[in-house]
A and B are shown apart, each in its own frame.
Chain A
Amino acid sequence: MADDKDVLRDVWFGRIPTCFLLNQDEVTEREAEPYYLLLPRVSYLTLVTDKVKKHFHKVIRTDDAEEMWFEYEGTPLKWHYPIGVLFDLHASNTVLPWSITVHFKNFPERDLLHCPSHSVIEAHFMSSIKEADALKHKSQVVNDMQKKDHKQLWMGLQNDKFDQFWAMNRKLMEYPTEDGGFRFIPFRIYQTLSDRPFIQKQFRPVSPEGHVHTLGDLLKEVYPTPLQWLSEHLSHPDSFLHICVIPVPSD
Chain B
Amino acid sequence: MPVSLLWAVDVYGRVYSLSTGGGLWEQCRDAHMEFKRVTAAQQCCWGIACDNNIYLNLHASDLPRWNPVDSFSDRLLPSDRWQWSDVTGLQHQPLDGFLLPSDSWEWEGDWHGWTYAIDFPAYYTKDKKWNSCVRRRRLLRYRKYRSMDTWAKVGQTVRVFVLVSPHSRRLSQILSATSATFSSCSVLSSFRSWTSFSKSLFFRSRRVFLFMDCSSWISTFSSSVSELRFFSSRTFGNLSFCCPILSFNAWNSFSKLLLFLTMRFIFIDICSSSGSQLGSLSASFWENFSSCSFNWTINCFTIFCELRCFSASSSFFCSTSFNFISIFESFSTSSLFSEGIYHLNPEGSEWEEVSLPGEVIQISCGPGDLVWAVLWEGQLLVWFRRGINSHNPCGSGWINMVGEMIMINVGLNDQVLAISSEDRAVYYRQGVTSSELSGKTWRAITVPRDGDRSHSSASASSLQSDVESERGSTDGAAGLVTSSSPESLVDAPQTNLSRPPASPKTAKDFQRGNSPAVLEEEPLAVEEDLKDPCAGVAIPPQDPQWCNVDLEEAQIQQTGVVLDSLDTCSLSSVATYTLAMEDPYGADERPLWAWVSGGGCNVDSHSQLNWFNSMNASSLVQSVQSMSLSVSPAQTAAWRRQIFEQLSERTKREMDDFRHYEQAIEQSVWVKKGTMQWWRDWKPYKWIDVHFALEQFSGAEGNKDGILFIYYNFYEEKKYLHAFVNDVTILVPVLNDSKHSFAIYTPERTKQRWPIRLSAATELEMQDWLALLSVSCCDSRGIQGPPSKQAAWSITCKGDIFVSEPSPMWGIGYDHTAWVHTGGYGGGFFQGLGSSTDNIYTQSDSKSVYIYENQRWNPVTGYTNRCLTGLWTTVCRGGRTETAGSMRLIFQRRLYHGHKTLKDFVRRRRWARKCKLTTTGPWQEVPPISLSDVTILPCAAQISVDVVPLWAISNKGDVLCRLGVSTQTPAGSSWLHVGTDQPFKSISIGAASQVWAIAKDGSAFYRGSLVPHPLPAKQKLKQVSVGRTSVYTVDENGNLWYRQGVTPSYPQGSSWEHISNNVRKVSVGPLDQVWIIADKVQGSHGLSCGTVCHRLGVQPMEPKGQSWDYGIGGGWDHITVRGNCMEPPRIRLPSLGGLASQSSFPVSTEANGNAVGC
Contacts and interface: CB of A to CB of B under 8 A. Distances in A.
Given A14-B650, A180-B626, A1 B663 contact: no
A87 to B, nearest CB: 9
B658 A43 contact: no
A226 B631 contact: yes
B564 interface: no
B635 A224 contact: yes
B662 A1 contact: no
Given A7-B644, A14-B651, A43 B665 contact: yes
B695 to A, nearest CB: 8
Interface stretch (A34-42, A56-64, A185-193): A34-42
Interface string B617-630: 00000000010111
Contacts of B458: none
A181 interface: yes
B658 A97 contact: yes
B626 A38 contact: no
Interface residues of B, number: 38
A1 B641 contact: yes
A16 B1142 CA distance: 60
Contacts of A67: none
A117 B699 CA distance: 12
A96 B653 contact: yes
A128 B635 CA distance: 32
A2 B644 contact: yes
Interface in A155-177: 155, 158-160, 164, 177
B664 A212 contact: no
B639 A223 contact: yes
Given A96-B654, A212-B630, A51 B664 contact: yes
Nearest to B654: A16
A155 B635 CA distance: 37
A122 B167 CA distance: 80
A187 to B, nearest CB: 16
A117 B631 CA distance: 45
Contact of B631 (A11, A118, A160, A224): A224
Given A1-B640, A96-B654, A36 B661 contact: yes
Contact of A212 (B629, B638, B650): B629
A118 B700 contact: yes
Contacts of A51: 662, 664
B700 A7 contact: no
A11 B639 contact: no
Q: Which of B640, B665, B697, B727 has the most CB of A within 10 A?
A: B665
Contact of A159 (B631, B658, B665, B722): B665
Nearest to B629: A226
A76 interface: no
A247 to B, nearest CB: 18
A37 B662 contact: yes
A226 B627 CA distance: 12
A224 B638 contact: yes
Contacts of B722: 152, 164
A75 interface: no
A119 B701 CA distance: 9
Contact of B647 (A7, A15, A37): A7
Interface in B739-797: 748
Contacts of A90: none
A43 B701 CA distance: 17
A1 B644 contact: yes
Contacts of B701: 117-118
A234 B640 CA distance: 12
A49 interface: yes
Interface in B641-658: 641-644, 647-648, 650-651, 653-655, 657-658
A15 B654 contact: yes
A229 B658 contact: no
A140 B700 CA distance: 29
Contacts of A37: 661-664
Contacts of A38: 655, 658, 661-664
Interface string A203-229: 000000000100000000001111011
A96 B653 CA distance: 9
A40 B665 contact: yes
Contact of A48 (B644, B647, B654, B664): B664
Contacts of A48: 664-665
A151 B661 CA distance: 29
Interface string A70-82: 0000000000000
Q: Which of A49, A181, A224 has the most CB of B within 10 A?
A: A224
Nearest to A45: B664
Contacts of A11: 647
Nearest to B664: A48
Contacts of A118: 700-701
A234 to B, nearest CB: 8
A96 to B, nearest CB: 6
A49 B664 contact: yes
A226 B644 CA distance: 14
Nearest to A83: B664
A225 B654 contact: no
B700 A117 contact: yes
A7 B653 CA distance: 17
Q: Which of A6, A97, A177, A229 has the most CB of B within 10 A?
A: A229
B524 interface: no
Contacts of A119: 700
A16 B657 CA distance: 11
B325 interface: no
B659 to A, nearest CB: 8
A96 B657 contact: yes
Interface in A1-60: 1-2, 4, 6-7, 10-11, 14-17, 36-40, 43, 48-49, 51
A40 B663 CA distance: 8
B658 A96 contact: yes
Nearest to A146: B748
Contacts of B647: 7, 10-11, 14
A199 B1139 CA distance: 62
A140 B662 CA distance: 39
Contacts of B650: 10, 14
B724 A148 contact: yes
B1099 to A, nearest CB: 31
B644 A155 contact: no
B667 interface: yes
B767 to A, nearest CB: 28
B707 interface: yes
A212 B665 CA distance: 38
Contacts of B655: 14-15, 17, 38
B354 interface: no
B748 A148 contact: yes
A225 B639 contact: yes
Interface string B130-155: 00000000000000000000000000
B669 interface: yes
Interface string B195-227: 000000000000000000000000000000000
Nearest to A17: B658
Given A36-B662, A229-B628, A159 B669 contact: yes
B700 A148 contact: no
Given A97-B658, A148-B748, 20 more contacts: A1-B641, A2-B644, A7-B647, A11-B647, A14-B651, A15-B654, A16-B654, A17-B657, A17-B661, A36-B662, A37-B662, A38-B661, A39-B664, A43-B665, A48-B664, A96-B658, A97-B661, A117-B700, A159-B697, A228-B629
Q: Which 5 pairs between the two chains have the least Cβ-Cβ distance?
A: A17-B658, A118-B700, A48-B664, A160-B665, A10-B647
19 contacts: A4-B640, A11-B647, A14-B647, A14-B655, A15-B663, A36-B661, A38-B655, A40-B665, A43-B665, A48-B664, A49-B664, A51-B662, A97-B661, A148-B748, A158-B665, A159-B669, A159-B697, A224-B635, A224-B638
Interface of A: 1-2, 4, 6-7, 10-11, 14-17, 36-40, 43, 48-49, 51, 96-97, 117-119, 146, 148, 151-152, 155, 158-160, 164, 177, 180-181, 212, 223-226, 228-229, 234
